[in-house]
Amino acid sequence: MLLAADAPPQTPPHTGGFLLILGGTGGLLTVAALGIALLLFLIIKVRIQPFVALLGVSIAVGLAAGLSVTELFGTVQRSTSVSMIESGMGGILGHVAIIIGLGTMLGAILEVSGGAEVLSARLLNLFGEKRAPLAMGVTGVIFGIPVFFDVGIFVLAPIVYAATKRSGKSIVLYAMPLLAGLSMTHAFLPPHPGPVAAAGLFHVDLGWMILMGALVGIPAVLAAWVYAAWIGKRLYVEVPQDMLEAAEEAKAAVAEEQRAAGVAPQEAPVGLGTVLAIIGTPLVLILLATFSSIALDPSTGRSVIEFFGHPFVALTIALLLAYYLLGLRRGWSRQSLERVSTASLKPVGNILLVVGAGGVFGAVLKGSGIADALADTFHDVGLPVILLAWLISVVLRVAQGSATVAIVTTAGIVVPLVEGQGFSQAHLALIIMAISAGSIFASHVNDGGFWMVAKYFGISERDTLKSWTVLETVLSVAGFVVAALLSLVI
């Protein structure tokens, strides 16, 4: 999933300061616009470290919007309150940090053992060297159906690294199609949380959601792939040097440990079936857990399936399989596995801090009431429902960063507008598709997904705006256009 802080609801702030001059809603909208502009200026022009810029602007926006110091930072007696900064940082890292850690270590084992190269080579042979970016895109769509966006990135990133190193071309050319596939499935298709939640609010059967999601999502992702191919040829970015250094250090550690232990290096290539089994294990487990929550009544069996299918558990199982199948069984020592895992985590610290600060920024925007002000602005505008749904979702997405929050909040606003209108299930599903399309518009600096893409694939903030942000916008606009056209005949 595309990540941002999902902080618990905050009490309405006491307006003051800047808002006393501009007025409530106008003041909130102005503070939001100025805050986002300042953040972009600090990161892109002044070149302040993103973590510091995000944290500083979050505090400034919160105070300007009327939040008290207590709401932002908590009290001296910490047991009596949780600050907005703490809830924003902890809310996102409580989920992301574990997945980043496990996914990074799993990717390192695949990389050092040669597993990623084996899988990448088979994909390139199947699609051909010229169609390798398409192979990445198809992989993103297939793997994106059962897994969350962030899990897909961390499991599949080694394949992107391998394909980039083999071709010598820009990592953008391979990463963007993959990301488009993952993002499309996350926004438009069950069992992802946003579409499923919206379907429940609109009382739309999931069968219609799947059908309309495919009809809208496939043309949208094709449009995104066209842009990915265009920008990938014009924006050259190498594989992240810190990731390469970590991989080389890990390989050297393995070789040294094997020599010290008297273990001869394994020359035989890793089997493709082994690699697919390791990668497929968390995907299958997560898929089973997701559908069991939809198809099965509460029971002990369902609880067991959901336990093993939780991303934390599923990735841990996959990592242990990689330790054995790619490591111990091929002559690695336990010390080698530990050194490979530790070396892979060195580049992760900056990723976690930046993602966490993005969560703080999103929490401040949400807790200050800015998202509500934006929604109220569009509530009674005389536009077609499907267009209004997309616009509200776009504004909420841009303001607070979370696709899932944008979908659920917009659905709650739009449901009263469609009651009693006699819309069919298919038409209601298309309205949800418009909401979903709006929820992925213009991923930028307040979205955890923006920073994951930038830091994990080694793309500068400026180039991430040119590639990932525009890619998401193309996917959003194309999805809305298809949904709107279908709504004219359905």
Span 301-330, pLDDT tens digits: 899 998 998 888 988 998 999 899 988 888
**450 three-state secondary structure:** helix
Tens digits of per-residue pLDDT, 408-454?
Answer: 777 877 877 787 788 998 899 999 999 999 999 999 988 889 988 99
The pLDDT of residue 258 is 52
When pLDDT is averaged across residues 73-101 and rounded to a whole number, the result is 73
The highest-confidence range among 55-69, 187-201, 289-303, 455-469, by mean pLDDT, is 455-469
Tens digits of per-residue pLDDT, 31-42?
Answer: 877 887 787 688
Alpha-carbon distance 448 to 438, whole Å?
Answer: 17
pTM: 0.66
When pLDDT is averaged across residues 458-468 and rounded to a whole number, the result is 94
The one-letter code for the residue type at 2 is: L
Alpha-carbon distance 191 to 211, whole Å?
Answer: 13
The one-letter code for the residue type at 250 is: A
Band (15; pLDDT cuts 50, 70, 90):
very low
The pLDDT of residue 155 is 73
The pLDDT of residue 7 is 39
Tens digits of per-residue pLDDT, 223-257?
Answer: 999 999 999 999 999 988 776 666 566 666 656 65
The pLDDT of residue 360 is 78
The pLDDT of residue 379 is 59
Please determine, for residue 459, whether its predicted confidence score (pLDDT) is greater than 90: yes
The pLDDT of residue 317 is 95
For the chain, give the percent of residues with pLDDT over 70: 81
The mean of the pLDDT values for the chain is: 80
Please determine, for residue 14, whether its predicted confidence score (pLDDT) is greater than 90: no
When pLDDT is averaged across residues 7-27 and rounded to a whole number, the result is 50
Please determine, for residue 20, whether its predicted confidence score (pLDDT) is greater than 50: no
Tens digits of per-residue pLDDT, 189-213?
Answer: 876 778 877 887 788 877 788 788 9
When pLDDT is averaged across residues 318-345 and rounded to a whole number, the result is 86
Better pLDDT: 121 or 45 = 45
The pLDDT of residue 480 is 98
Band (13; pLDDT cuts 50, 70, 90):
very low
Please determine, for residue 479, whether its predicted confidence score (pLDDT) is greater than 60: yes
The pLDDT of residue 249 is 67
The pLDDT of residue 9 is 41
| 3-state secondary structure string across 81-139 | CCCHHHHHHHHHHHHHHHHHHHHHHHHHHHHHHCHHHHHHHHHHHHHCHHHHHHHHHHH
Q: Do 60 and 38 touch, CB atoms closer than 8 A? A: yes
Distances (CA, A) of 136 to 40, 128, 143, 160, 224: 30, 12, 10, 8, 13
For the record, the structure tokens of 214 come out as 């495919």
Q: Do 176 and 231 touch, CB atoms closer than 8 A? A: yes
The pLDDT of residue 320 is 94
For the record, the structure tokens of 210 come out as 């799947």
Better pLDDT: 482 or 28 = 482
Please determine, for residue 476, whether its predicted confidence score (pLDDT) is greater than 70: yes
DSSP 267: -
Q: Do 341 and 350 touch, CB atoms closer than 8 A? A: no
Alpha-carbon distance 100 to 93, whole Å?
Answer: 9
**What are the domain boundaries of the chain?**
88-191+237-344
The pLDDT of residue 153 is 85
The pLDDT of residue 146 is 66
Cβ neighbours of residue 380 closer than 8 Å, sequence gap 6 or more: none
When pLDDT is averaged across residues 49-54 and rounded to a whole number, the result is 81
The pLDDT of residue 217 is 95
When pLDDT is averaged across residues 398-404 and rounded to a whole number, the result is 80
